[in-house]
Every structure is written in C-alpha cells, then in structure tokens.
Amino acid sequence: MPRFIFCTGGVVSSVGKGVTAASIGRILKARGLKVMIQKLDPYLNVDPGTMSPYQHGEVFVTVDGAETDLDLGHYERFIDENLNSVCNVTTGQIYNEVIAKERRGDYLGGTIQVIPHITNEIKRRVYEVGKSQDVDIVIVEVGGTVGDIEGQPFFETLRQMRSELGRKNTMFVHVTFLPYIGATGELKTKPTQHSVRELRSIGIQPHVIIARSDHEVSDEIAHKIALFCDVDVEAVIPLVTTDNLYKVPLMLEEANLGDYIMRYFGLEQVEPDLGEWRRIVKKMRNNADSVKIAIVGKYVELHDAYMSVKEALAHATIPTDHRLEIEWVYSGDLEKGKGFEKLENVDGIVVPGGFGYRGIEGKIQAARYARENNIPYLGLCLGMQVMCIEFARNVLDMEDANSTEFETPTDHPVIDLMLDQRGITNMGGTMRLGVYPCVLTPGTKAARAYGVDRVDERHRHRFEFNNAFREDFLKGGMVFSGLSPDEQLVEIAELKAHPFMVGSQFHPEFQSRPTRPHPLFLDFIKSSIAFSKTRKKVPLKQEV
Ligand code: GLN
C-alpha cells in the first residue's frame, strides 16, 4: 500500500496549489520514490472538456484520452510520469456513477446518501491511483479551498481514509496564503489560522503548512503559524512567489520539506538527486539571448488557456541556450488588419488549438504571413488546419477553401468532419481523444526532428484533413510528413519550400517535459533562432 499525501487549500484559491503538489512529487521522486498525483475537482461537470477556457483554462489530455484539469499538465511535467483518467476525479463523475448504479438496482433497495455512497465512490477512485504495484506515494490535491460547500464530500473522504490507513500512512499538507498589509508592512497569519480551524471542524489536522506569500516570511511568523495551527515549526514551509515555477521544488527542498516527509513516513533518508533540475532552472535564468515567439490565439488575455504550449516552448529554449519571450497576438485583431506590427518582430509563430469560428480568419492571416515571409511556423491541431486552409486559398487558388467546422457548404472543404464523428450529438468526451500512432515520412522535417520512424501523440479533435484534396496539396508543394499507420489520416503536414512550416493534427505540447523538450518544439525553436539572425522586416504582401 502506498503512502498518501493529501493536499488541501485554504484562504484563497489560485495560489499555486497544483504547482506545489507537483513540486512535492518532484522532491520525492528525486529520492527514488515512484509518485502518482491525482486531482479531485468538486465541480459538477463530468470533465472540463465541455467548459470554456474562460472558466477553466486549458484542457489537458492524458495518454488514455481523458480531458482533465490543467494541473495534471503540471504534475506530468514535474514528476515526468504519464498520468491517466483516474488521476482527475470530479463531482460530476462520482454522481454519474452512483446514480447509474442506483438505476441499475445495484444498491438493493437502500437509501443512497452522500455518506457513505458518494464518499465510497470517491475513496474507490483515490485507492485506484495507488493500485499499481510500484507506486510508493500518491499525492491527492483537492480543488478549491476548505469550507467550500461542494468540497465537503471530498474532505470527508480523506478524513475517513486517514482513519482507515492511520497516521503513519497519510499526511495532510495545507497550502494557505499570507496577506500583506501595506499600511503596516506586515504579513498576517489570521486567515491561515481560520482555515486550519475550518479543517479541524471536519476532523482534519494538517501536518504541514505551506504558507504562500508575496513577501519574505520571517521566523517569527513561521513560529506563530506553528503555535496557532499546532504543527512542527519545521513543517511550516514559507513559499514566496517566484517568476519561474520550476524553482518551486528547489525552494521546498531548501526548506527541508523532503526530509521532513521521509521522516514522517518513517522512510529511509536518501540524498535527493535534483542536479538536472537545478541545471534546468539555472539555464532558464541565465540564458542571455532571447527568442521571441508569437502565440496567435483568441484567448491571449488568458494565458492559462495555452498553458502546455507556453511550457513546451520554454522547455525547447533550454538546450538551445536561449530565453523565451512570448508575444501574445489576438487573432481577432489580425482580422481587422491590426497587430501585424507585432508579427514583424517575432522569430517564430505558433497557432495553437481551438474551436469555433471566432478569430479563425486572423489565424489564417498569421499562417499566410509566416509562409510568405519565411517565418518558422508551428501549427497545433487547429493551427495545422488553418495552415492547410491558407495554403489552399492562397497557393492552390481555392478561394473559398475552409473547414466544415466553420462553413458548410463550401466547394473546397479541405478540412472536414472525421467519418466516425458523424452523427455524434453528445458533446462530452466524444472527440478523437488520447494517444494514436503516427508513421513519419522519411526525409521530411518532422522525421528529422523526431529521428525515429513512428511516434505516439495525444489528440483532441473532430475534424481532419480531407483526403480528396491530398493530390492537389502534394502538387502544390505541401508534404504529408506524418500519417496514421493505415495512411488514411494526415497527422503532420509541412511545406517543402519553407524553412520550417509544420502543423500537427495532434498536440505535441502535452508530451513536452523540462527535462525532455518535444522534438517538434525543439526544431521549431532552433529554426526560429536561425531566423532571428537573418530577420528581415518584409512587409505583408496581402491586402487585409
Ligand atoms: N476544432 C478543431 C477540431 O475539432 C481543432 C481542435 C483542436 O485544436 N484541439 O478538429
């Protein structure tokens, strides 16, 4: 049976509980332990797949095709493990399951209640994560903050697990926030004390308090928290806001949290191996030259919507000795002829994934700008589709070329609904999701980037390249550098006569790790660095 670390939050949300949980995972992995991380989300949606990015930020896709919370992206990047669908549990999933059982008659006439039926189903899923033989530690993060009505069944479940497994096998880590009062220049511990009181009222006493703060936390404050919240003073871990989230494991290590957890669980103390992590953080900070990449999207005021893309770009700059600078470009502006001056000053352009027509014409303009001016371009899912639409319209003279997601009918539906998506009316979890194989075409930019014949990549889409147009595209100079093994599905497209214009139907950003940048991102960044050295400001050739 693995040990469980339950990560709860108090005072306010959005203080980086996900990154903290991921960082605890990293410092334990550095001690040779196998770690898995799970997120419990108290909302009623079955998964975030149907939620607007304004509500939820990015939807992270696991290998087995679950649409999950973006914190799972942090977990995977920090602990370098592939997580799966059981690693994100929502209230919606729990109720769905319990009510379906009730309708089947599985409860033999019993009255179905939050305790024990809902809590048992939550518990079953928490235990499930630790089932595989080799897992030493399961970290479970509860979304939201203690005191939220919808979170109660989750906290109650963890309380029960603590009784079942005993103190030696369970640890509660509570992440709080210390507000700063400008007038007196002090940090306040009272909200932390109140949130711990709230936890205690449901029967949970935390063992570690991570005190997030925008200012240095004095020993005096740490002692005060220890005293009022009844935790060891060495288990009060100040965590001051940092500009680089990859520093967080090093900050926790510095505060001796790793040793504390090992001692608590009675595990043998070992010297943590964080050497590679330290090198990465140092390089991210010290690289003097920067490479400037535009992300052209419709949620650019909301960077969380492109979390994995942003991180994958940053990872790729590490081995190239550059610092990443992102230029956020709103595609809606490009449609109105605005914002092109931003593109004039970038070394590469990324068009990430997306849904719906808003901003599409601007993304098509961005693809055209990249093609005509030889600016490296990386298209991710929708970004690959707009690259094809642009090529059809402006190179192959198919003026009305479009995706049937945006326009039906069109004489040139170069992107069309996948066959097995036809007739689907239920929107939740029905896209082409998760890992599928892709066979690379030798001699192409994509094959060179990967350096292998076949790859597995994660997908989340309903539309695909329309094979009726393959011949025309090939004649025009497009290369299909990645196909499904039966050759029926275009997985990667690229332009022959361009330094780097590559689009993938899948999402390579989900597989990038700081320790292992994704090959397509890496070659894109390398091309962007090469382009930056010869950058000429070529005016846009098109009428907008
Ligand atoms: N909307 C497109 C599709 O469904 C692209 C999806 C995406 O970018 N993830 O195929």
Tell me 421's DSSP state. Answer: G
Peptide bond into 409 cis (omega under 30): yes
Residue whose C-alpha is closest to residue 49's, from 387, 434, 345? 434
pLDDT tens digits for 60-86?
Answer: 999 999 999 999 999 999 999 999 999
By the 8 A CB rule, do 362 and 333 touch?
yes
Q: Which pLDDT does position 71 carry in this prediction? A: 96
Which SS3 state, helix, strand or coil, does residue 114 take?
Answer: helix
Q: Give the integer Cα–Cα distance in Å for 309 and 216.
A: 31
By the 8 A CB rule, do 464 and 505 touch?
yes
Spacing, Cα 399 to ligand 1 middle (Å) = 22
- Of 463, 507, 510, the one to substitute when testing ligand 1's pocket (max ligand atoms within 8 A of C-beta) is 463
pLDDT tens digits for 231-254?
Answer: 999 999 999 999 899 999 999 999
CATH number for the region 3-279 comes to 3.40.50.300
Helix (H), strand (E) at residue 38: strand 35-41
Q: Is-catalytic flag, 507?
A: yes
Q: Give the integer Cα–Cα distance in Å for 351 and 444.
A: 21
CATH topology of domain 288-532: Rossmann fold (3.40.50)
At 292, which amino acid appears?
Answer: K
Residue 461 beta carbon below 6 angstroms from any ligand 1 atom: yes
Residue 286 has pLDDT above 80, yes or no: no
Which SS3 state, helix, strand or coil, does residue 460 take?
Answer: strand
Q: What percent of the chain stands above pLDDT 70?
A: 98
Tokens of 464: 């695909």
Tokens of 220: 């005096």
At 284, the pLDDT band (50, 70, 90 cuts) reads confident
Catalytic residue among 381, 459, 464, 518: 381
288-532 matches 3-279 in CATH topology: yes
The whole-model pTM stands at 0.95
By the 8 A CB rule, do 527 and 376 touch?
yes
Tell me 50's DSSP state. Answer: G
Tell me the three-class secondary structure of 491-513, residue by residue.
Answer: EEEEECCCCCEEEECCCHHHHCE
Q: Which pLDDT does position 543 carry in this prediction? A: 46
pLDDT tens digits for 190-213?
Answer: 999 999 999 999 999 999 999 999
Look-up: residue for tokens 């996900």?
A: 18
Which SS3 state, helix, strand or coil, does residue 322 take?
Answer: coil
Q: Which pLDDT does position 370 carry in this prediction? A: 97
Cross-strand bridge partners of residue 417: 463
Residue 184: exposed, middle, or buried by beta-carbon count in 10 A (0-12, 13-18, 19+)?
exposed
Residue whose C-alpha is closest to residue 57's, from 301, 296, 307, 295? 307
Look-up: residue for tokens 């599409």?
A: 360
Q: Whose CA is nearest to atom 7 of ligand 1?
A: 353
Greatest alpha-carbon span in the chain: 75
Catalytic residue among 121, 327, 335, 509: 509
Tokens of 475: 């004649």
Backbone angles phi, psi at 203, to 5 degrees: 90, 15
Q: Is-catalytic flag, 381?
A: yes
Break the chain into its structural domains and give their ranges.
3-279, 288-532
Q: Give the integer Cα–Cα distance in Å for 63 and 318.
A: 25
Spacing, Cα 53 to ligand 1 middle (Å) = 14
